[in-house]
Amino acid sequence: MKLAAAVFYGFALGLLALGLRELLTGFEENRCSMTYMFEYPEYRRVALPRRVALLYPAYGLYLYGEGLYAQETRALKLAGAPVLFLPGNAGSFKQARSLGSVALRKAESMEGGLHFNVFTVDFNEELVALYGGSLLRQTHFLHESIKAILRLYKHLKTPPQSVVLVGHSMGGVVARALYTLPRFHTDLVSLIITQASPHVAPVLALDPYLLDFYSAVRQKWVNQANKLRNVTVLSVGGGYRDYQVRSGLISLPCSSEDPNKLSLVATAVPRTWVSTDHLSIVWCKELVLATVRAFFDLIDPETRQFTDDPEKKMSVLNHHFIRHPVRMLGETKENSISFLDFPEAWSEVNTLRLTYSTPKEGQAKYFLFALSSRRKAYSHFYCRSSNLLLPSYKHLPSSSVRSLCAPQFTVECEWQRRESQTLTVPVPHVLSFGLTVSDVTVNSSGLLHTIRLQHFHQVYQAFRINIASQCKEQKGTFVLLPNVYVMNVPWFREDTFTTVSVPSVAEISGMLHTSRPDNSSHVLLLLHTAPNCQYKVTLRTSLPRVLGQILRFCGPMVPVYTAVTLLMACGGQLSYILKSGRAADMSHVVAKGLQPHKVNLPVYILHFLLSCSWFQEIWSILCLPLLDTLPPTAPDGTFPEGLVPAEEWPHMLSHLLYIFGAAVAYWGSTLLRLVIRLLSLVLAPLHRPSVSRECGTLRPQTQLLFTVCLTVIGGTTCGALSIFAAFLLHLYRVLRLQMTARSLSHMLNLAPQKQKEAENGAVVSESVRKSKECNSAGVLSECALQEVRDDLRLHLCLSALLTLPLMLIAPSFIHWIRNLRYSTQLHPDPCWPHNVPIIIVYMLLINCNTLKLRNSKLLPLTSCLPLPLAIATVTFTPLHLYRITYFLSAPLVPLALCCLL
């Protein structure tokens, strides 16, 4: 039985490790170019009012500079356009150097003296993604920083009236939170660019302050959307390389009718087309260049500051971040070249396809296509060049195409019938495990072919798309341009680009950041091909990538089901003590904690009942909280309304997630037992040998003293500190029991058969136990050993149950330690609601043993509590992980009472 459980949970842990490996490493290599500082970067601190400095001693405001520019701005006499960079979770204010250095180099090459003053905020590298108590404090300091920045420009005739914010990670969320402040004027910030910021929901909600902060920001931007319509916000995600903030969370939760809010992934940004991890999105040269170019185009030439025109801002952002730059920004039909300007440079094209290579001298050449004879027969006109990928036109704005940019390149154009060059391929089922293959062969007769991937619209789907190309021999000196494969997602800007040579074999990852919101579109695979070539496209499901996608979107459910397994193990241990008077082995009860039929089935029934209006009314009357679901995967970022979740696919995966959580609990408890044994060996020489089950217990006076001291410490410093200290006291009790069990075992030198029976925990009825004679010393010693082992198994189970809450409150403890030089008290403290009860329970459980439990009248009721608590854990904690502490601590209260009554 033990071997079967170990094999099963070993296989489950292997699947979990495979998914984690795919999530953390299964992406393309980093193709971002590094940004370099040509001169030594300097950060000049900006003096803040004394009131602000005293109120926020851990924070600071700095101006970035290099070389001569840093010397010129030493006195903070500034004349540029202000830009403020906001670091994110554990981020440094020095991360602004990439943006500041590129902007400075760009300004040196510009005429007219246009430049930017890049400021940066020091948030003391706080862990605001895990501890939300500092988010509101950061928002207030940001407001004060903006006012301090604008005061630096009062000497100018036309000082700036607003500051542009660039926020990384949680810094972008803080930037949007400015508008929730009652005294904040919306005119102070009219443009926000966020990088890998989780706007939809926090990645992990480990305390209530984080969710309250998100709720306030969401309500402000949704309820007052009309007032904030003129505020332009651009949110950029990193793609699959960013495993810390998945790109589905960067979607701005606002109305789709608001034209001033944009959300996209870095892989879809023109002239960027790369995926970035959570940190490289700050210094990725391709993305930084796009941002800086947009900043310069946003400058009003009259005021030399950022424009306030929302239409102009959106036009610039669309040009640099969305549409391909076919025409330079500001270029119109009026200033384009006509046939009358250079009649000798124009050539009329009467064929269906054009291929032209520029000569070495780079002479300009213009081509004229007749539209009237082609409109009915062909639906699109498409061009591409060797250094620029151009979109196809359905209705041509003009009848001319001219050579662009580079001194030497190749351009190809053709007329197309889009329907005849579009194929539909159904993707394999997600449960095919790569055994089923969907393929299609494209005999290229043109430059662009479209493959519609049918039934590919959910985030848990993942495919390996292989494209093999081979071409016939070309006559003459015809040069094949590189092929470009684009996976286009119509409902969200998350396109991916792959460039390969011809012939070649390329592999594309077919995955989604967002699920399809309706049935109106399909994922498209656009093949920018070479004529007279053959392309074989093969699709098969990738199990590792499917597991990676499941963990990317449903990862927070794993600790939830780990807690459920530990709760069911605790209930099984108490039931075993109630029936036999003995404690079961820890691995046995944890292995039995996997009971999806008892946990998931009631959750399904509850979700079904909540689809009925009468049950919703009863639920509302009882003032019960809303059911938790994972953050939505739709691109609009809206939460499901009412009590019924909008997306059911996480519930379909609940059994797999339960297995993953149970595997973590099983092997985590095994690791805990191993650590206890090793620590007991290290500490054994420091203690006298003991043969009593009371080893490591506390006297009532000592219990009271520890309870009072730890309560005072938790109230005056940090609640997590006192809980951690109480856990160590209980851990000391477990170590003493382990040392006592080893001492008794060595002294008795039991026979192998008796050792085997003791390890297996053979059931001995209470009547037999009472009739057994224990008068001789040997029998008394055997009974003592069994009693110590029972107590050890009980406390090991309790230690495993107590470890998970300790991990959930660890971020607040770390935050308190890192800010000790500024304040000795953590405020606000997420542990304050359960600090005192948990300490009291810990102190009572230290003296608990199986004899007290089996004689308690409360044990039958206590053994029934873990199951409803496990159901409540699955129902109410996926979005509120901090609630796991409440549900894990709930059965410990009656268990502690069992030791008294």
Residues acting as catalytic residues: 169
d(CA 306, CA 202) in angstroms, rounded, equals 31
* Residues constituting the chain: 901
Phi, psi values for residue 508, rounded to 5°: -120, 140
Place of tokens 């997306």: 647
C-alpha gyration radius of the chain: 33
Residue 87: name the closest of 50, 129, 53 by CA. Answer: 129
Handedness of CA 117, 122, 123, 126 (dihedral sign): positive
d(CA 317, CA 295) in angstroms, rounded, equals 9
| CB hemisphere CA count around 860 (13 angstroms) | 1
Residues in Cβ contact with 130 at an 8 Å cutoff, skipping those fewer than 6 apart: 89, 204, 206, 811
d(CA 493, CA 722) in angstroms, rounded, equals 48
Q: Are 148 and 48 in contact (CB under 8 A)?
A: yes
Provide the greatest CA pair distance for the chain. 120
d(CA 465, CA 513) in angstroms, rounded, equals 17
d(CA 151, CA 141) in angstroms, rounded, equals 15
State how beta strands 533-541 and 463-471 pair.
antiparallel
State how beta strands 346-349 and 353-357 pair.
unpaired
How is residue 424 written in tokens? 């539909």
How is residue 328 written in tokens? 């330079």
Note the Cα 32 to chain centre separation in Å: 21
Phi, psi values for residue 567, rounded to 5°: -65, -45
Phi, psi values for residue 62, rounded to 5°: -130, 155
Complete DSSP assignment for 222-259: HHTTTTTTT-EEEEEE--TT--SS-GGGGS--S-TT-T
How is residue 464 written in tokens? 């390996």
Residues in Cβ contact with 281 at an 8 Å cutoff, skipping those fewer than 6 apart: 168, 195, 196, 236, 238, 242, 266, 287
d(CA 678, CA 900) in angstroms, rounded, equals 32
Residues in Cβ contact with 841 at an 8 Å cutoff, skipping those fewer than 6 apart: 889, 892, 893, 895, 896
Residues in Cβ contact with 862 at an 8 Å cutoff, skipping those fewer than 6 apart: 574, 856, 891, 894, 895, 898
d(CA 292, CA 99) in angstroms, rounded, equals 7
Alpha helices in 236-390 (DSSP H): 280-283, 285-297, 310-321
d(CA 376, CA 311) in angstroms, rounded, equals 36
Beta-carbon count within 10 A of 442 CB: 19
Give Cα separations from 227 to 184, 187, 224, 251, 837 (angstroms).
13, 11, 5, 20, 46
